[in-house]
Amino acid sequence: MSQPQKQHLIDPEICIRCYTCEMTCPVEAIVHDDSNVVVDFDKCNFCMDCIPVCPTGSIDEWRVVETPYSVEDQFSWMELPEQQDFGPAGSGVDTSIEALDEQMAALLAEAHSGAGGKSKAPASASKPSVNLYTIGKPAEATVQGNYQLTAEGADSDVRHIILDFDGHPFPVLEGQSIGIIPPGTDDNGKPHLPRLYSVSSPRDGERPNYNNLSLTVKREPNGVCSNYVCDLKVGDKVQVTGPFGATFLMPDDPDAKLLMICTGTGSAPFRAFTMRRQRNAAGRSGGMTLFFGARTPQSLPYFGPLKKVPETMLRKHLVFSRIEGEPKQYVQDKLREEAATVGDLLKDPNAYIYICGLRSMEEGVESAFADIARRNGLNWTDVRNGMREEGRYHVETY
Partner 1 sequence: MLDLINVSYDTQIPNNVGLSSDKRVLKALEKWHPGYINWWNDLIPENFQQSLVYLRTAVSVDPKGWAKFDYVKMPEYRWGVLLAPQVEGRRIPCGEHAGEPAWQEVPGEYRALMRRLIVIQGDTEPASVEQQRFLGLTAPSLYDMRNLFQVNVEEGRHLWAMVYLLHKYFGADGREEADDLLRRQSGSEEAPRMLGAFNEETPDWLSFFMFTYFTDRDGKMQLESLAQSGFDPLSRTCRFMLTEEAHHMFVGETGVGRTIERTCQVMNENGIEDPYDTDRIRALGVIDLPTIQKKLNLHYTLSLDLFGQEVSTNAANAFNAGIKGRYMESRLDDDHKLTGDTYKVLDVDGDRIITRDVPALTAINMRLRDDYTRDASGGVGRWNKIIEKAGIQFEMKLPHESFNRKIGVFADKLFNPDGEHVTGAEYDEGMKNWLPTHADGDFIQSLMKPEREPGKYASWIAPPKVGINNKPGDFEYVKLHMA
Q: Which is nearer to partner 1, 53 or 340 (CB)?
A: 53
Burial class (CB in 10 A: 0-12, 13-18, 19+), 337: middle
For residue 65, the 8-state DSSP code is E
Q: Does 185 bind partner 1 (CB under 8 A)?
A: no
* Binding-site string for partner 1 from residue 96 to residue 115, where x marks contact by CB under 8 A and - marks none: ----------x---x--xx-
Instruction: Give the span between the Cα atoms of 285 and 9, in whole angstroms.
Output: 42
The correct pick among 91, 381, 386, 389 for binding partner 1 (CB under 8 A) is: 381
Spell out the residues 6+ positions from residue 88 whose beta carbon is closer than 8 angstroms to its own. 131, 132, 133, 134, 137
Q: Which is nearer to partner 1, 275 or 378 (CB)?
A: 378
358 is in an annotated binding site: yes
In the chain, how long is the greatest CA-to-CA distance?
Answer: 65
Q: Which is nearer to partner 1, 124 or 185 (CB)?
A: 185
Q: Which is nearer to partner 1, 168 or 375 (CB)?
A: 375
The correct pick among 3, 27, 45, 52 for binding partner 1 (CB under 8 A) is: 52
* Least distance in angstroms from the C-beta of 297 to partner 1: 26
Q: Which is nearer to partner 1, 128 or 293 (CB)?
A: 293
| Strands 139-148, 237-244: pairing kind | antiparallel
The correct pick among 5, 7, 14, 337 for binding partner 1 (CB under 8 A) is: 14
Q: Which is nearer to partner 1, 256 or 261 (CB)?
A: 261
107 is in an annotated binding site: no
Q: Does 335 bind partner 1 (CB under 8 A)?
A: no
Burial class (CB in 10 A: 0-12, 13-18, 19+), 103: middle
Q: Which is nearer to partner 1, 18 or 123 (CB)?
A: 18
* Least distance in angstroms from the C-beta of 93 to partner 1: 25
Number of residues that bind partner 1 (CB under 8 A): 37
* Least distance in angstroms from the C-beta of 343 to partner 1: 16
321 is in an annotated binding site: yes
242 is in an annotated binding site: no
| Strands 139-148, 61-65: pairing kind | unpaired
> At 377, phi and psi to the nearest 5?
70, 25
- Helix 339-347 vs helix 361-375: angle between axes, to the nearest 10 degrees? 80
328 is in an annotated binding site: yes
* Least distance in angstroms from the C-beta of 57 to partner 1: 4
* Binding-site string for partner 1 from residue 361 to residue 380, where x marks contact by CB under 8 A and - marks none: -xx--xx--x---x----xx
Q: Does 50 bind partner 1 (CB under 8 A)?
A: yes
Q: 378-389 in b/e burial notation, b at 16+ Cβ within 10 A?
A: bebeebbbebbe
* Least distance in angstroms from the C-beta of 52 to partner 1: 4
Spell out the residues 6+ positions from residue 156 whose beta carbon is closer than 8 angstroms to its own. 150, 218, 219, 264, 295, 299
Alpha helices in the chain (DSSP H): 20-24, 50-53, 71-75, 102-111, 224-230, 268-279, 303-308, 331-337, 339-347, 361-375, 380-389
The correct pick among 30, 38, 39, 48 for binding partner 1 (CB under 8 A) is: 48
Distance from chain centroid for Cα 329: 25
* Least distance in angstroms from the C-beta of 20 to partner 1: 4
Amino acid at 78: M
Q: Which stretch binds partner 1 (CB under 8 A): 14-22, 118-126, 230-238, 271-279?
A: 14-22
- Helix 380-389 vs helix 361-375: angle between axes, to the nearest 10 degrees? 110
Write out the binding residues for partner 1, residues 54-73 only, by CB under 8 A.
55-58, 60
For residue 199, the 8-state DSSP code is B
Q: Does 18 bind partner 1 (CB under 8 A)?
A: yes
CB-CB contact of 384 with 378 (8 Å): no
- Which positions lie near partner 1, rule CB under 8 A? 13-14, 16-18, 20, 23-24, 48-53, 55-58, 60, 78, 106, 110, 113-114, 116-117, 359-360, 362-363, 366-367, 370, 374, 379-381
Q: Provide the annotated binding site for NADP(+).
A: 198, 218, 265, 321-322, 328, 357-358, 396
